[in-house]
Structure 1
Amino acid sequence: MSVRPYRDIHRRDCRKIYVGDVPVGGDAPITVQSMTTSLTHDVKATMEQIRRLEEAGADIVRVSCPDKESTAALKEITAQAKVPIVADIHFHYKRALEAADNGAACLRINPGNIGSHDRVQEVVRAAKANGCSIRIGVNAGSLERHLLEKYGEPCPEAMVESALEHIKVLEDADFFETKISCKASDVFLGVAAYTQLADACDYPLHLGITEAGALRDGTVKSSIGLGMLLWSGIGDTIRVSLSADPVEEIKVGYSMLKSLGLRHRGVRIVSCPSCARQAFPVIQTVEVLEERLSHIATPMSLSIIGCVVNGPGEARETDIGLTGGGNGNHMVYLSGVTDHKVKDDKLVDHIVDLVEKKAAEIEAARAEAQGGVEAAE
């Protein structure tokens, strides 16, 4: 289906950097990342979380490195992880040096917490020597004293000035493998800061509304802030900060990108809120299908509509559709066309089977096309 003009999002032009082998910025897809909550020096627990995040589709995973035990554990963690690992560094610049030596693909530093320019310069030298990129992490809650004295309080101008000052420190050290975040827990402050920063530099931007809250409120808050920025074409990698299982951050991140047509992974379910017209329990059915189809990474669409009011129309727009019918017989649509009926007792298993088969067909066609391209080359 062609994309209608009003759906077009023109992403901001910026330079491309790499976090390990994952491109960020430029023409690269917007990446989705999260952060582990385990003690990093507990390698087993940390790797268990990383594996779950990888399975959920995380492109990049960040781990906190507050002490020597954590940076020492990075050597084993980075050797086992399938995705690039970002070392989160605060206060002690030596942790950054150790993390770079032990395999971190990127160093997340808040220069205001690192200390003198000389210490930042040492971090830059370690990053260069080990092929690390750097994320400058500006946060409204930890702005430098001189900026707070100048502006009186955290504001977009202070946050952007902080980011530009630290960019200059890195550029003076001939370092340009940099991405930047400008986070705040206040949606308006965060959006304004990112919008100004997007105009002030050409570095890729890491988006986030920091300390957004628990699963429901944090999802809503992040969706408003990040959605405004992404719709404006701003943002190259995202992290949804939730007080919840980190896997939920990945799920919400992909849902945001899917909703805006910026990136597609897994099954996009279109479903009605249900009402007295429903011919089967829509809410419970969708809950079960979301869980049972969570392993599907192939982009595809599925509509689950409880009656014939909007069902046929939605089914025409999805790969597979289901519309509630009378006497426990429900219509199944394939590629927008009515195909067959399914009864209540077989409904969920049948839809799961259809989705899995469709995903296998799509992947087979993709592999065949890729094989043809490689043969031609």
Structure 2
Amino acid sequence: MIRLPGAQGELRAYEPRREPGRGAQGAAAPLTSRTVFSAAHVVADPFADTTPDGPAAVDWDATLAFRRHLWSHGLGVAEAMDTAQRGMGLDWAGAAELIRRSAAEARAVGGRVACGVGTDQLAPGGADLAAVRAAYEEQLAVVESSGAQAILMASRALAATARGPEDYLEVYGHLLRQAAEPVILHWLGPMFDPALAGYWGSAGLDAATETFLEAIAAHPDKVDGIKVSLLDAQREIDLRRRLPDGVRCYTGDDFNYPELIAGDDRGFSHALLGIFDPLGPLAAEAVRVLDTGDSKGFRELLDPTVELSRHLFQTPTRFYKTGVVFLAWLAGHQTHFTMVGGLQSARSLPHLARAYELADGLGLFPDPALAETRMKSLLHVHGVAQ
């Protein structure tokens, strides 16, 4: 039994499960009905003498081991994305090193990897469109030279600089024309990053969607797919139905992913999700059920995970990374609960306690006893006697 704090400061008794959860090693067989990426977190070096605004200190061995865990289940890895704390603790120098190392590891084990391309090497404020283009080009060259697929991420600098939709079309058109291989375009909503409000040149999502589709239509051969992270299921469905033939929709909706991946008689979404970091083994199991044509069985496995996902991604949504890393620690994928930039402090103890309870209920911990011991150690540090 473990005593967990609630949102009002009360303590309640919880009895953890005893049977082992889903293990660290999965089947090698690839997923067939959907292309599925897990956006992966980075593991901080807990012994580094650093500060929240200093360069990220990364434990490379543990970081790459976690990617091997995801690949072992047949998932792709979406690297150096917001789940890896891009712009929230991981700077471009650290991201570039992460891209090189992860791409090399992917080649060694036969894993699939796609990497984020942005403009975060630019200092805040003062950039013009030429500087934004050059920053994107620099990062695109790093990703392409590593052999990974490129994900063109939304740019804070472009959002601050663009005068309207035409500037977005010009910058993205320039990048798509020179991309060596088809890329994934990422539309990240302001709930994940407030600096991206009004992206695609419009405060209204209907107008922004038209600009987004115009950019894709101008270069459909250079767009493998789009990742939509707007937490609006119907908008994603409407958008994917308007995509040119051959352009995929990768859901980034951590609130509604089961229904979007399952799809309907007019199509479905693939997946590129931060929640598939802690859900990796279960998500892969569910998609393998879907591979057999069993949509009902897929939903029966994945629907119960939505409560945990909505909890981790509750507002302020951008701090979901804290819960993701917390669960990786409880599951034994790393030896500590420390994050680059000190982001382990971004969620409250009651929030983390509820995350533990939900994850344990889903059977996400390969060793429930280890998870319980680690949860109790965190509670002890916070003064909660057991």
TM-score class, shorter-chain normalisation, is 0.3 to 0.5
Which structure features the higher share of strand residues? 1
- Using structure 2 for the length normalisation, give the TM-score: 0.47
- Using structure 1 for the length normalisation, give the TM-score: 0.48
Which structure exhibits the higher relative contact order, with contacts defined as CA atoms closer than 8 Å and separated by 6 or more residues? 2
